[in-house]
Amino acid sequence: MSVIAIVGGQWGDEGKGKIIDFLAEKAKLVIRFSGGDNAGHTVINPYGEFRMHLVPSGIFYPQVTCIIGNGVVINPAVLLTELDELRSRSVDISHLIISDRAHLIMPYHALLDGLEEERRGKGALGTTRRGIGPAFADKVARLGIRAGNLLNKNIFLKQLSSTLELKNAILTKIYQHPPLLLEEIFEQYCHYGEQLAPFIKETSSIIGPAVARGEPILLEGAQGALLDPDFGTYPYVTSSSPLAGGGSIGTGIGPMAFDRVIGVFKAYITRVGSGPMPTELKDEVGELIREKAHEYGATTGRPRRCGWFDAVAGRFSVQVNGFSDIALTHLDIYDDFPLIKICTAYKFDNKILDSFPSDVAILERCQPIYEELPAWQVSTSKIHDFNQLPLEAHRYIARLEELLSCPVSCVTVGPKRDQMIKVRSIFSE
Ligand code: GDP
Ligand code: IMO
Ligand code: MG
């Protein structure tokens, strides 16, 4: 049994792509399980630098079967562009499979995402406007169109015409937007379908036996726990579950088969889009983190909000995911800091809170309580051996492990594949 889920522990962009790219060398299957092209997973390896939006970050290893799981929503145009880019840079994509159960992002989804954001005005959620929310809403409203439906034009046309009637009524009557044309979408999507058909398959017949054989399998999460629709900072969340539990539903692997659940955390914290973020630094320290770490969205290019590590949110994330391990990324960003702060509790109305509130109205008013630690002030970016890390870095990591009650199994000190320090082995070897 060797199913390992890699899950974002914060508000996304923790470096999941890099961790997958590193670990996939030993995997047989890598399965993306949630989100859509709102995700942007940066991978820097001998093939170059890539921003993966839908294709699993294990694609660079020809021996690894990569699956876009049933829990993902797919914009076929984005996927085809991503595949073209990979092909043009000599990456073999023949080992990619798309679950026939994955839902499709249709043109009205992206359009409605933008219109809904505009309607919200000042209360906008700051979505990626990729149509993610409307596509997942249609999935649960039983109005969705799945990848497998592209394989049968008659069924696809029937579904599309019935759904488009409703969407056009919303577009024209609520938003005073011109209707979308059935023929145009139908033709466009049939064309996408022809190109994607060789990849679309029923995937439980591939995944189930691989789990039964105990093959090493990585589940690639998107987003992060604090963007979960149930446990995140609702309504400033995404629309599918980025949690380890989402990894079960988004692949069809039962939770008992999970061997490990690795939470990826930055040594600090970032957030893109709106919503409360107690440790946000709106000063020169936040600016310094942003510039040093190039904290600009891999999908939208928006500047990411940066702040000190929030251990209250971190503990909550460990709890709702049941993390067995932590992958701590971006340690190098603190290399020339004089000191580092960790938020260990919040102050709310003169009370001390050490648990993460469910209500954003409370979280918005929480003031972080910090603990200060000395930093190391030497470069860590070339270190490969855990024992070679400076004493202060060891202390910082140990303190995070203590605050989160979870062991750190690897530390990364730069964006490249080999800028990785293994603390303990991850695959049972
Ligand atoms: P993901 O969405 O979780 O895969 O993360 P992103 O790719 O959106 O954002 C992580 C960013 O940090 C990317 O630009 C990575 O190249 C970069 N990165 C990952 N790990 C490290 C690290 O340890 N140090 C530094 N300096 N950059 C890193
Ligand atoms: P990766 O996988 C960071 C955020 C958006 C917005 C909220 C809702 O790269 O970590 P959506 O378009 O999903 O409806 O937007 O979620 N968001 C992400 N933030 N990393 C991501 O993915 C994100 N995917 C969505 O910025 O605040
Ligand atoms: Mg990202």
Atom in ligand 2 nearest the alpha carbon of residue 275: 27
Which of 34, 128, 239 is the best mutation target for the ligand 2 pocket, counting ligand atoms within 8 Å of the beta carbon and taking the most?
128
Atom in ligand 1 nearest the alpha carbon of residue 298: 8
Residue in 41, 53, 103, 330 annotated catalytic: 41
The percent of residues in the chain predicted with pLDDT above 70, rounded, is: 99
Atom in ligand 1 nearest the alpha carbon of residue 329: 23
Domains and CATH numbers, the chain: 3-100+200-262 (3.40.440.10), 103-196 (1.10.300.10), 265-422 (3.90.170.10)
The token pair at 416 is 């490249």
Q: Is 13 a catalytic residue?
A: yes
How far does the centroid of ligand 2 lie from the alpha carbon of residue 429, in Å?
34
Mark the ranges of the chain whose per-residue pLDDT is less than 50. Answer: 429
Distance, CA of 263 to CA of 252 (rounded, Å): 20
Cα-based distances in Å from 291 to 31, 84, 391: 32, 31, 26
Taking CA atoms only, the protein residue closest to ligand 1 atom 6 is: 13
Distance, CA of 44 to CA of 416 (rounded, Å): 5
314 Cβ inside 6 Å of ligand 2 = no
Cα-based distances in Å from 197 to 37, 44, 73, 190, 209: 20, 29, 16, 10, 23
Following DSSP, what letter does each residue of 150-186 receive, concatenated?
A: GG-HHHHHHHHHHHHHHHHHIIIIIT--PPPPHHHHH
End-to-end CA distance of the chain: 12
Which of 54, 223, 330 is the best mutation target for the ligand 1 pocket, counting ligand atoms within 8 Å of the beta carbon and taking the most?
330
290 Cβ inside 6 Å of ligand 1 = no
**φ, ψ for residue 102 (rounded to 5)?**
-65, 140
CA-nearest of 238, 172, 171 to 34 is 238
How far does the centroid of ligand 2 lie from the alpha carbon of residue 13, in Å?
9
Atom in ligand 2 nearest the alpha carbon of residue 130: 12
Distance from the Cα of residue 202 to its chain's centroid: 24
- 293: helix, coil or strand? coil
**Which residues hold their Cβ within 5 A of ligand 3, which is an ion?**
13, 40, 298
Following DSSP, what letter does each residue of 257-286 receive, concatenated?
A: GEEEEEEEEESSEEE-SSS--TTB--SHHH
Q: Is 41 a catalytic residue?
A: yes
pLDDT at 425: 83
pLDDT at 297: 84
How far does the centroid of ligand 1 lie from the alpha carbon of residue 141, in Å?
35
pLDDT at 301: 86
How far does the centroid of ligand 2 lie from the alpha carbon of residue 100, in Å?
24
CA-nearest of 347, 350, 338, 341 to 310 is 341
21 Cβ inside 6 Å of ligand 1 = no
Following DSSP, what letter does each residue of 30-62 receive, concatenated?
A: EEE-S--TT--EEEEETTEEEEESSS-TTTTST
pLDDT digits (tens, 9 = 90+) for 16-73: 999 999 999 999 999 999 999 999 999 999 999 999 999 999 999 999 999 999 999 9
User: Is 200 within 8 Å of 98 (Cβ atoms)?
Assistant: yes
**Cβ burial 233-262 (10 Å sphere, 16+ → b, else e):** beebbbbbbbbbbbbbbbbbbeeebbbbbb
In the block, residue with structure tokens 């022809």: 194
The percent helix, strand, coil of the chain (3-state, each to 5) is 40, 20, 40
Atom in ligand 1 nearest the alpha carbon of residue 414: 24
The bound ligand whose nearest atom lies closest to the alpha carbon of 19 is 1
pLDDT at 428: 62
134 Cβ inside 6 Å of ligand 2 = no
40 Cβ inside 6 Å of ligand 1 = yes
The bridge status of strand 309-310 relative to strand 48-52 is unpaired
How far does the centroid of ligand 2 lie from the alpha carbon of residue 295, in Å?
14
Q: Which residues contact 425 (CB under 8 A, 6 or more apart)?
A: none
The bound ligand whose nearest atom lies closest to the alpha carbon of 36 is 2
How far does the centroid of ligand 1 lie from the alpha carbon of residue 337, in Å?
19
User: Is 272 within 8 Å of 126 (Cβ atoms)?
Assistant: yes
